[in-house]
Amino acid sequence: MRYSSFVQRIGGEGAAAWDTHTRASRLKREGADIILLSVGDPDFDTPAEIADAAIDAIRSGRTHYGDVIGDHSLRTAIAKHHQATTGQAVDADNVVVMAGAQCSLFAAALCVLDIGTEVIVPEPAYVTYEAVVGASGAKMVHVPLRAEREFQLDPEDVARAITPKTRALLINSPHNPTGAVFPRKTWERLAELCRKHDLWLLSDEVYASLTFEAEQVSPGGLAGMGERTVTINSLSKSHAMTGWRIGWAVAPHALAKHLGTLSLCMLYGSPPFIQDAATAALGHPPHELAEMKEAYRRRRDLVIGRLGNVAGLRCHRPEGGMFAMVDVRGTGLSAQRFSTDLLDAEGVSVLAADAFGPSAAGHVRISLGTGEDELGDACDRIQRFAEDLAGKRR
User: Is 382 a residue whose pLDDT tops 70?
Assistant: yes
Percent residues over pLDDT 70 in the chain: 97
| Confidence grade of residue 355 (pLDDT, cut at 50, 70, 90) | confident
How distant, in Å, are the alpha carbons of 79, 241, 278, 297, 355 from that of 272? 18, 16, 10, 34, 37
Average the pLDDT over 328-356 and give the result.
94
Q: Give pLDDT, residue 99.
A: 96
19 pLDDT tier (thresholds 50, 70, 90): confident
pLDDT, position 39: 87
pLDDT range class, residue 394, cuts 50, 70, 90: low
Give 286's contacts (C-beta < 8 A, 6+ positions apart): 47, 48, 49, 50, 239
Model pLDDT for residues 63-88, shown as the tens digit of each residue = 999 999 999 999 999 999 999 999 99
* Residues linked to residue 146 through DSSP beta bridges, in sequence order: none
- The pairing of strands 348-349 and 229-234 is unpaired
13 pLDDT tier (thresholds 50, 70, 90) = low
Asked if pLDDT for residue 121 goes beyond 80, the answer is yes
Nearest to 339 by CA among 316, 328, 14: 328
Report helix, strand or coil for 332: coil
Q: In 221-242, which positions are buried (b, 16+ CB within 10 angstroms) versus exposed (e)? A: bbeebbebbbbbbbbbbbbbbb
Please check the confidence at residue 393 and state whether its pLDDT lies above 70.
no
pLDDT of amino acid 3:
84
Q: Is 269 left (phi over 0), alpha (psi -120 to 50) or beta?
A: left
Looking at the chain, the domain(s) classified CATH 3.90.1150.10 span: 6-45+288-393
Dist CA 326 CA 305 (whole Å): 12
* CATH 3.90.1150.10 assigned to 6-45+288-393: yes
- State mean pLDDT over 25-54: 94
pLDDT (mean) for 178-185: 97
**At 319, is the pLDDT very low, low, confident or very high (cuts 50, 70, 90)?**
very high
Number of H helices and E strands in the chain, helices first, is 13, 13
Given a cut of 90, is residue 4 above it in pLDDT?
no
Percent of the chain with pLDDT over 90: 91
Q: Could you give the 3-state DSSP secondary structure of residue 142?
A: strand
Question: Which CATH code fits 64-283?
Answer: 3.40.640.10
pLDDT at 14 over 60: no
Secondary structure (3-state) at 231: strand
Contact residues for 325 (Cβ-Cβ < 8 A; gap 6+) = 147, 151, 177, 178, 179, 315, 316, 318, 353, 360, 363, 364, 365, 366
pLDDT digits (tens, 9 = 90+) for 219-269: 999 999 999 999 999 999 999 999 999 999 999 999 999 999 999 999 999
List, for residues 129-177, the tens digit of each pLDDT value. 999 999 999 999 999 999 999 999 999 999 999 999 999 999 999 999 9
Q: How far apart are CA 116 and CA 51, in angstroms?
A: 44
pLDDT at 20: 83
**Helix ranges (DSSP H) in the chain:** 6-9, 19-29, 48-59, 72-86, 100-112, 129-136, 155-161, 184-197, 253-266, 272-283, 288-307, 335-346, 372-393
Cis peptide leading into 122, omega within 30 of 0? no
Domain with CATH 3.40.640.10 in the chain: 64-283
Question: Rounded to two decimals, what is the model's pTM?
Answer: 0.94
* Chain mean position to CA 278: 19
Q: Which distant-in-sequence residues (6+ apart) come within 8 Å of 145 by Cβ? A: 122, 123, 124, 151, 152, 153, 175, 178, 180, 359
In this predicted structure, what is the pLDDT of residue 17? Answer: 58
317: which residues sit within 8 A by CB, 6+ positions away? 150, 179, 300, 304, 324
Q: What is the mean pLDDT of the chain?
A: 95
Q: What is the pLDDT of residue 53?
A: 98
CA neighbours within 13 Å on the CB side: how many for 106? Answer: 17
> Judging by DSSP bridges, how do beta strands 363-367 and 323-327 pair with one another?
antiparallel
Q: Report the distance separating Cα 221 and Cα 231, nearest Å.
A: 10
Cα angle 378, 355, 12; round to 5: 140
Separation between Cα atoms, residue 248 and residue 235, nearest integer Å: 9
pLDDT of residue 21: 86
pLDDT reported for residue 64? 97
Distance, CA of 368 to CA of 37 (rounded, Å): 7
Reply yes or no on whether the pLDDT at 216 is more than 80. yes
Give the three-state DSSP class for 206: coil
Amino acid at 162: I
User: Is 12's pLDDT higher than 80?
Assistant: no
